[in-house]
């Protein structure tokens, strides 16, 4: 098997070959590590490459196969971890000089679950400072680049993971999503990215467990790979209150069992808080809707007047940075990302009343979306208003241009389809929808009812089946 075919193999197929003793975990891991070392100078998507530990773990995985031991669903499969998540004995820098020497004492629960499933942890991937923006770059590690075009961003804040998976540097990456940080990079890089329902996957390290809007999810080249990784990550922990109790909603709705979608109603949302959507992005979204309609689904444009609470969402987001980063300023201000400092400065101007009213608006938005799901099985929209932005874009101040028209900062003009569902908690997945006129990937987002992550992934997989994507590879990969 050629190295390129091995590198772009799905995690599902690789695990099957390993179980059948047709693929050596050591050989596989060596190929991935070699490709990572080769691509790192061009893409800059890794903070730490764990070559020695990964090869030792791969040897143990191979020994387990040969000994006939029980094997997990990701046995022998290389996976990398975003550098906001702890891996024992490895730095967790959070993308900032403040934590440049912060070595984790223990694995995060999600890393523990991946290891229990047999995954080989191969690296930590780049993130902007504290995952602060939709581009992956910063003063502490430089610029991470998109493998489809290195003058464009891979998105953020899970941009390192997305660039790596898109370039064939492991089939799976663990990302986190606080305002679109898994789905945005997936769309920029031509991948699948899942933000699960609030509480489906634990996030034990969030500072505000009860007001949480941060999620962990997979980045992959296929929906099946994302679904397997999601299953591995899911389940309650004692530290995340949203994972406690409740019914098991992992079963598939009957109307999605086959390929006849006659029972399914889709609500198409052309714009959220953004004033424009690019013509190529809109065309690819409509083509995807036509594919689902061709399987029998009914498509209707959502015309409800919805307040997407862009300002209130920004109040919550920037106030958070203002408070939790304040202790770092006396020592670290000169080494912090200017975007972080700008968010902190703006966040400090909001009052307690502003913050509480923003929390009330979050509840109102949730209820509006719940009302839509009384009529629709899924909400579908573009993942971005346009393709990936240029590297070096100032996320705090620059205005996003859509078809030559300035449309506001990134939350207003580019990522406005993403952050609302961090606030409402509904499951949302981004899947490839085609290419833009600039040759870069475009993405489409599917949002489902609370707890119906399985339905969202199944629905996405039917688009993947009718409009296959995973065969596409960046030219330089």
Q: Which residues carry out catalysis?
A: 82, 157, 181
Strand 265-268 and strand 298-301: the pairing is: parallel
Residue 108 exposure: Cα atoms within 13 Å on the Cβ side: 27
For 221-273, where are the alpha helices, taking DSSP H only? 223-233
- The answer to whether 236 and 200 are in contact (CB under 8 A) is no
In whole angstroms, give the CA distance from residue 305 to residue 205: 36
What tokens appear for 147 in the block? 């493998």
Q: In what order do the strands lie in the sheet with 192-195?
A: 46-49, 120-125, 78-82, 172-177, 215-220, 192-195, 428-435, 441-448, 378-382, 265-268, 298-301
Distance (Å, whole) CA 359 – CA 345 = 20
Q: Enter the DSSP assignment of 77.
A: -
Measured distance CA(334)–CA(95) in Å, rounded: 15
Quick check: 180 and 428 in contact, CB under 8 A?
Answer: no
Alpha-carbon distances, residue 121 vs 5, 43, 251 (angstroms): 21, 20, 29
| Phi, psi (deg, nearest 5) at residue 364 | -65, -40
């Amino acid at each position: 098997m050629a190295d390129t075919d091995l590198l772009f193999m799905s995690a599902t197929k690789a695990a099957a070959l390993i179980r059948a003793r047709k693929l050596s975990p050591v050989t596989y891991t060596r190929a991935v590590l070699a490709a990572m070392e080769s691509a790192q100078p061009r893409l800059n998507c890794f903070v730490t490459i764990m070559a020695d530990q990964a090869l030792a773990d791969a040897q143990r995985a191979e020994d387990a196969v040969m000994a006939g031991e029980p094997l997990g669903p990701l046995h022998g499969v290389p996976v990398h971890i975003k550098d906001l998540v702890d891996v024992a004995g490895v730095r967790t820098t959070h993308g900032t000089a403040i934590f440049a020497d912060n070595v984790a004492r223990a694995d995060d629960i999600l890393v523990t679950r991946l290891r229990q499933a047999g995954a080989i942890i191969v690296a930590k991937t780049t993130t902007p400072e504290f995952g602060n923006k939709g581009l992956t770059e910063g003063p502490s590690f430089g610029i991470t680049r998109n493998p489809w075009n290195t003058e464009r961003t891979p998105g953020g804040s899970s941009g390192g993971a997305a660039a790596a998976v898109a370039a064939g540097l492991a089939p799976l990456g663990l990302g986190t999503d606080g305002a679109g940080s898994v789905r945005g990079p997936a769309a920029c890089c031509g991948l699948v990215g899942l933000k699960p329902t609030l509480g489906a996957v634990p996030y034990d390290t969030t500072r505000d467990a009860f007001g949480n809007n941060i999620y962990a999810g997979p980045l992959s080249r296929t929906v099946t790979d994302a679904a397997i990784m999601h299953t591995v990550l899911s389940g309650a922990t004692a530290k995340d209150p949203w994972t406690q109790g409740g019914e098991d909603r992992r079963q598939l709705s009957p109307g999605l069992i086959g390929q006849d979608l006659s029972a399914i109603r889709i609500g198409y949302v052309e714009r959220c808080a953004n004033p424009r959507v690019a013509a190529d992005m809109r065309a690819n979204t409509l083509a995807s809707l036509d594919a689902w309609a061709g399987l029998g689904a009914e498509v209707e444009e959502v015309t409800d007047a919805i307040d997407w609470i862009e300002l209130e969402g920004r109040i919550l987001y920037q106030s958070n940075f203002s408070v939790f980063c304040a202790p770092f300023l006396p020592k670290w201000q000169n080494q912090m990302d200017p975007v972080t400092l700008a968010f902190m400065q703006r966040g400090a101007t909001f009052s307690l009343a502003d913050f509480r009213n923003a929390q009330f608006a979050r509840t109102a938005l949730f209820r509006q979306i719940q009302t839509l799901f009384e009529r629709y099985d899924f909400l579908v929209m573009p993942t971005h208003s346009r393709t990936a932005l240029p590297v070096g874009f100032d996320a705090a101040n620059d205005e996003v241009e859509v078809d030559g028209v300035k449309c506001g900062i990134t939350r207003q003009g580019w990522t406005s389809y993403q952050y609302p569902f961090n606030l409402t908690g509904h499951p949302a997945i981004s899947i490839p929808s085609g290419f833009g006129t600039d040759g870069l990937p475009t993405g489409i987002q599917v949002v489902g009812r609370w707890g119906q992550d399985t339905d969202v992934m199944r629905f996405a997989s039917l688009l993947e089946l009718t409009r296959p994507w995973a065969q596409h590879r960046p030219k330089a990969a």
